[in-house]
Structure 1
């Protein structure tokens, strides 16, 4: 009797812990969905003028429209796009009509066109401010000799090009017949696996209960046979 009670406690206790983890992931899912919905609304808002002193926390994803001049010296960040293959994000110095020099992420350039002339000259750009966190301890140093970067490091790129540490990711540009295709800011890149985690925990809870019940039912039968 004591052994059966102990097994019952272990079975119910383990299932309760697994269910609690599943419920926590459901709560995290709601939290993440609210964040993504907020970001989506900020991305799609009407564009405004470039802020004087943009803040990475409050102005991230802010839609902005600027006019000015794309200057020489674009940097290439190695990326890959589905159905297109390997290529590069083109990060160019952009001087606004007000005289500010910022970084402009103009979009994707396929690998075969890397050595072609990058867009230079007058342009209008509508996009979103972003401070991407793509650099970690495993990110290689940029190959400056071949102009290949492996992440969008805003501070390092700004230092290399002599611009403000400010990145505008283009959604639309006035560049006609340009080989560079805009890669707008997209919340699809934000990881949101909480539903899968919740299903996993709930499935484990059900399995734990089934195994515990089977073990409890098996013990009296084994005892009767002895």
Structure 2
């Protein structure tokens, strides 16, 4: 029996081994992603620090900082919506720090009717969080620059549009009367690795089952031929 079914058996074992290895890999990815999420929440809970000299996404995302500087003229309007508030826009403006750097400042949310309203500018000093949002992919439409409609907080293009460094600070407390409404910063990592882990494991079980069905069918066919 073993010799007759060596080919199907090897085919089944190799397939199961590949699927199980993919399941293990996704499980390891899940553990890695959960570590990143835990580190992000730990960072958000830390005390604010002065804005780092050269912040980077890998090192400084979700770091609370204390901003000191001035909100400048010019805005990018990112289409969004908020539960209980309806459609609106996230307002991104250039911000000049006290040491002369120009960065992006997420001022918060305004309703759709407030898109083109005049907003207060000037000096502020208060808390913010460094963020590099992962909101765009190959399906995200390009911004409509003529109407100032953006569909994601994409740091690099926004920085080019507003002539700033590619650094985004999300303000957490409104500092000026009539300013947009700051919204809480939440950790937004995509983590579907448990789903993928279970999927690959399920496919391995199905592969093993179908291999067994195949071998059983071959054996029954062999017995029938022998009887004939």
TM score, norm. by length of structure 2? 0.81
Distance across 2 between alignment mates of 1:89 and 1:21: 39
2:9 matched residue in structure 1: 8
Distance across 1 between alignment mates of 2:134 and 2:190: 13
2:115 matched residue in structure 1: 114
Give the aligned CA root-mean-square deviation in angstroms. 2.8
Distance across 2 between alignment mates of 1:136 and 1:13: 35
Assess, with a 3 A threshold, how the Cα gap between structure 1 residues 26 and 138 changes in structure 2: closer, same or farther: closer
Distance across 2 between alignment mates of 1:191 and 1:116: 34
1:126 aligns with 2:127: yes
* 1:213 positional shift: 1.7
Deviations 1:132-157 (A, max 9, x none): 45566665543333222233343443
Distance across 1 between alignment mates of 2:133 and 2:124: 23
- Tell me, yes or no, if the aligned pair for 2:77 and 2:91 is still in contact at 8 Å: yes
1:182 matched residue in structure 2: 182
- In structure 2, the gaps of 5 or more residues are none
1:220 aligns with 2:225: no
- In structure 1, the gaps of 5 or more residues are none
Distance across 2 between alignment mates of 1:8 and 1:145: 63
TM score, norm. by length of structure 1? 0.82
2:144 matched residue in structure 1: 143
* 1:18 positional shift: 1.1
Equivalent residues in 2 for 1:1-226, closer than 5 Å: 1=1, 2-98=3-99, 100-132=101-133, 140-175=141-176, 178=179, 180-187=180-187, 189-226=188-225
* 1:206 positional shift: 0.9
Assess, with a 3 A threshold, how the Cα gap between structure 1 residues 76 and 217 changes in structure 2: closer, same or farther: same
Deviations 1:21-54 (A, max 9, x none): 1111111111111122122212221101122333
Assess, with a 3 A threshold, how the Cα gap between structure 1 residues 12 and 101 changes in structure 2: closer, same or farther: closer
Q: What's the secondary structure of 1:173's corresponding residue?
A: coil
68-77 or 136-145: bigger deviation? 136-145
Deviations 1:70-95 (A, max 9, x none): 33322212234455443211011234
Assess, with a 3 A threshold, how the Cα gap between structure 1 residues 204 and 77 changes in structure 2: closer, same or farther: same
Assess, with a 3 A threshold, how the Cα gap between structure 1 residues 197 and 56 changes in structure 2: closer, same or farther: closer
